[in-house]
Structure 1
Amino acid sequence: MVPSMTSMTLPSDTPRPRSRWPLFAIPILLLIAAAAWSAFWFYAVSQAEVKADAWRAQEAKSGRRYDCAKQSISGYPFRLEVRCDGARVALTSQTAGAASAPVTIDLGEILAVAQIYDPKLLIAEFKSPATISETANAPAMQVSWSVARSSVVGLPAIPQRASIVFDDVGIDRVNNNAVQVPVARAKHVELHGRLAEGSTAKDPIIESVLKIEAGSAQDVHPVLARPFGADIHAKLIGLKDLTPKPWPQRFRELQAGGGQVEIVQSRIQQDDLIAIAAGSLGLNAQGQINGELQMTVTGLEKIIPALGIEKMLEDGVPQATLDRVAPGVRSQDVTNLLGALDKAIPGLGKVVKQNANAGVAAGINALGTAATLEGKPARTFPLRFADGTVYLGPLKVGQVPPLF
């Protein structure tokens, strides 16, 4: 039997086609987000350029001018990469008496990188070498390295921390004949600085750490010509602000306010000679260093010949020095005796001078007190700075130029 048409059930609604708008919603949202992020990135770039121009203007007022032959910004979408080709830094009035002798530093390239989501952290890399010159005809200094990086935390406001690191750094003097004369070398150099905890912008205290591995310097003092390592922790106390200004002006303000550098801890090692020191240094009204560091030294007798004792004997020993290390001996008697010995037996005076070096070392030991440093016999004595002159015990061992 065939069912009737009336008994059959028919669907009340026919199937409707599904809406396709969700398929396009996600791409549209992603496109909007990408456009918004792009706008934000380009806005961040423009703000970075504005802040960089303002910073350069401030630095220029302080005698530090920064220029780029070619500058580009990249790093989209998550970074800001500022590349400066043909970088040049012109410094004026940054050292005592330097107003008429500006210093120019030329670098090949500087690359500064900041994350778009953390613009207060800036990391920079520097391409070797750098050339430092005062005038077109004066000998230039060339600084080279394998790696040079720096980081600054706290920009664009007052930096909270800053660091710079060099590997395989060398400094050479280049004369007019393009001949390079070594000045300084180091396998590794680190310099770190930060605002001390509790420090404020109106009363800043800066903590710094300097580390040197396998360093040597040819033009500073004969003692530093052999490789040495150094680890120095210091505090700069007495600054009134951190606004950009020439260094001589800042040093004057530091002196006027009774500021000082506190050497919290320092350690220097050269072969088996080890020296640690701590103390405070300040400035007098003429910009010369005054102060005293308490030193403990092992192997002191090996450093005495490098301090120039022999030359001091050749030039004549000051009576005040002899009174300290050899009471009752007249300066003129020593000079005449050495000359007479050389005339009688050539070379004999040199032997006497070498023995005199040992005698002076014994005199210095007598001034200090016995101590032990890292399990080795040592002596403790003051390293004094008086109007820029450096004294090791009774001996003048160096002269520091005024800072303003």
Structure 2
Amino acid sequence: MTSNDERPPNFLRRLFWLGVFIVVLFGLYSAGWFYLADKVKSEAGKAVAEFNGNGIEADCVNLTVSGYPLSFAVTCDSLAYQDDSRNVAASLGSLKAVTHITQILSPGADLQGPLRTSVPGMAPLWIDWDNLRANVKLSWPLPRRVSLEAEALSAQTDPADGTDPVELFSAGTAVGELRPNGQDIDYAGSFTDLEIDPGAIDGRVLPPLDG
């Protein structure tokens, strides 16, 4: 082998230190990710615990944080809230909220139904969907945008009390967006194939609506 084929010692040394730098940098990143994941989980647990007391119960069942190394994913098997003093209750299926490292200020969440609600003066409701996604553009002090998009959205009275449920409405899609506007909040929304059950409007029959 001629001298022209040999790697200069300085090149090998620089290559070695580059490898060391990459390993150290990855180790620091990994430590930071797991520290932040633990912090997110503990703060979320504290937030849920702060709701509890004085007749209020809140729960995020099986709260977990995952997604290493390129994202954070917070999941709950189910969500529940109950306020005995106001006789208000709500429950929801699973929640998965994800934010990617490259888009840390744009988290998104997928929610599974049904949403069940109980409020004084109203029949308990059962709201369900095939897909429901929420997206947020974070800013300070308020988000720049909060949007919801649902497919195959429907609502009926909750059959849990043993009575036959009353169908209320169904829609092929429903989209809504909230934006702060000074001291106000602007809302824009749309829906397709909205069908309102005649039983919910005193027997009147309406055609499918878009709006």
**TM-score (normalised: structure 1):** 0.42
Structure 1 residues 161, 147: CA separation in 2 closer, same or farther (over 3 Å shift)? same
Post-superposition CA distance 1:126-158 (Å, at most 9, x none): 1132333459xx974322211100011126742
Report the Cα offset of residue 87 of structure 1.
Answer: 1.6
Structure 1 residues 217, 154: CA separation in 2 closer, same or farther (over 3 Å shift)? same
> Distance in 2 between the 1:143 and 1:216 partners?
14
The answer to whether residue 90 in structure 2 is matched with residue 105 in structure 1 is: yes
Report the equivalent of 1:228.
209
> Distance in 2 between the 1:152 and 1:224 partners?
37
- Contact 1:121/1:155, CA 8 A, preserved across alignment: no
Report the equivalent of 1:208.
187
- Contact 1:122/1:155, CA 8 A, preserved across alignment: no
Partner amino acid, structure 2, of 1:181: V
Structure 1 residues 121, 57: CA separation in 2 closer, same or farther (over 3 Å shift)? farther
- Contact 1:216/1:226, CA 8 A, preserved across alignment: yes
The answer to whether residue 113 in structure 2 is matched with residue 131 in structure 1 is: no
Q: Would you say how many aligned residue pairs link Structure 1 and Structure 2?
A: 198
Partner amino acid, structure 1, of 2:74: V
- Contact 1:120/1:156, CA 8 A, preserved across alignment: no
Report the equivalent of 1:69.
61
**TM-score (normalised: structure 2):** 0.76
Report the Cα offset of residue 223 of structure 1.
Answer: 5.6
Gaps of 5+ in 1: 1-16, 93-98, 231-404
Structure 1 residues 194, 57: CA separation in 2 closer, same or farther (over 3 Å shift)? farther
Report the Cα offset of residue 119 of structure 1.
Answer: 2.8
Gaps of 5+ in 2: 1-7
- Contact 1:51/1:156, CA 8 A, preserved across alignment: no
Structure 1 residues 146, 182: CA separation in 2 closer, same or farther (over 3 Å shift)? same
The answer to whether residue 25 in structure 2 is matched with residue 39 in structure 1 is: no
Structure 1 residues 153, 91: CA separation in 2 closer, same or farther (over 3 Å shift)? farther
Report the Cα offset of residue 81 of structure 1.
Answer: 0.3
| TM-align CA RMSD | 3.4
The answer to whether residue 99 in structure 2 is matched with residue 114 in structure 1 is: yes
- Contact 1:133/1:141, CA 8 A, preserved across alignment: yes
Report the Cα offset of residue 225 of structure 1.
Answer: 4.7
Report the Cα offset of residue 67 of structure 1.
Answer: 1.9
Post-superposition CA distance 1:226-262 (Å, at most 9, x none): 42222xxxxxxxxxxxxxxxxxxxxxxxxxxxxxxxx
Report the equivalent of 1:350.
none
Partner amino acid, structure 1, of 2:111: F
Report the equivalent of 2:146.
162
- Contact 1:69/1:84, CA 8 A, preserved across alignment: yes
> Distance in 2 between the 1:214 and 1:223 partners?
17
Report the equivalent of 1:217.
196
Partner amino acid, structure 1, of 2:61: A
Where does 1:184-203 land on structure 2 (aligned, <5 Å)?
184-196=169-181, 199=182
Secondary structure class of the residue paired with 1:158? coil
Report the Cα offset of residue 185 of structure 1.
Answer: 0.9
Report the Cα offset of residue 191 of structure 1.
Answer: 1.2
Partner amino acid, structure 1, of 2:115: A
Post-superposition CA distance 1:260-301 (Å, at most 9, x none): xxxxxxxxxxxxxxxxxxxxxxxxxxxxxxxxxxxxxxxxxx
Report % sequence identity: 20
